[in-house]
């Protein structure tokens, strides 16, 4: 199904919301099921983290997400693959640093069978 078909934006948004729930719950298995095998996360520091390393950090508690409050979320389905952009206030403890960060997340998605999976995310700060 092409990205511009009805329901794509809702499915992508549902994946994002499930990612947020899994992150806050510290459920690395549920989070991993929402990502492609070659998923990468680019942190606000510029560090590019592979999927398995990120999931291991979530599993161990090295990355502990306490709360994610969406300020706004949009999905663009006009290109070849959908992208979701969210501005959040994310309260977390990341490698020992605790805080609430205004994060802008840009997440790309690809079709995998009947589901949309995240292929990569870039986190930056916003004001």
- Written as tens digits, the pLDDT of the chain (127 aa) is 455 566 999 999 999 999 999 999 999 999 999 999 999 999 999 999 999 999 999 999 999 999 999 999 999 998 889 999 999 999 999 999 999 999 999 999 999 999 999 999 999 999 8
* CATH at residue 77: 3.10.450.50
Q: Is residue 82 part of a domain?
A: yes
Residue 3 forms part of a structural domain: no
Structural domain span for residue 99: 8-125
Assess if residue 2 is contained within a domain: no
Strands (E), 4-95: 35-42, 48-50, 63-76, 83-94
As for how many domains the chain has, the answer is 1
In a domain, 85, yes or no: yes
> Global pTM?
0.93
1: in domain: no
How far apart CA 41 and CA 28 sit, in angstroms, is: 14
């Amino acid at each position: 199904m092409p990205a511009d078909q009805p329901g794509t934006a809702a499915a992508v948004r549902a994946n994002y919301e499930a990612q947020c729930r899994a992150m806050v719950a510290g459920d690395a298995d549920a989070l991993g099921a929402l990502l492609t095998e070659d998923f990468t996360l680019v942190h606000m520091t510029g560090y590019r983290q592979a999927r398995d390393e990120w999931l291991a950090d979530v599993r161990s508690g090295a990355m502990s997400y306490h709360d994610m409050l969406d300020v706004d979320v949009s999905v663009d389905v006009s290109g070849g693959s959908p992208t979701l952009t969210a501005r959040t206030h994310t309260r977390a403890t990341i490698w020992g640093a605790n805080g609430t960060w205004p994060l802008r997340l840009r997440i790309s998605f690809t079709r995998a069978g009947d589901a949309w999976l995240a292929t990569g995310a870039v986190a930056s700060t916003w004001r």
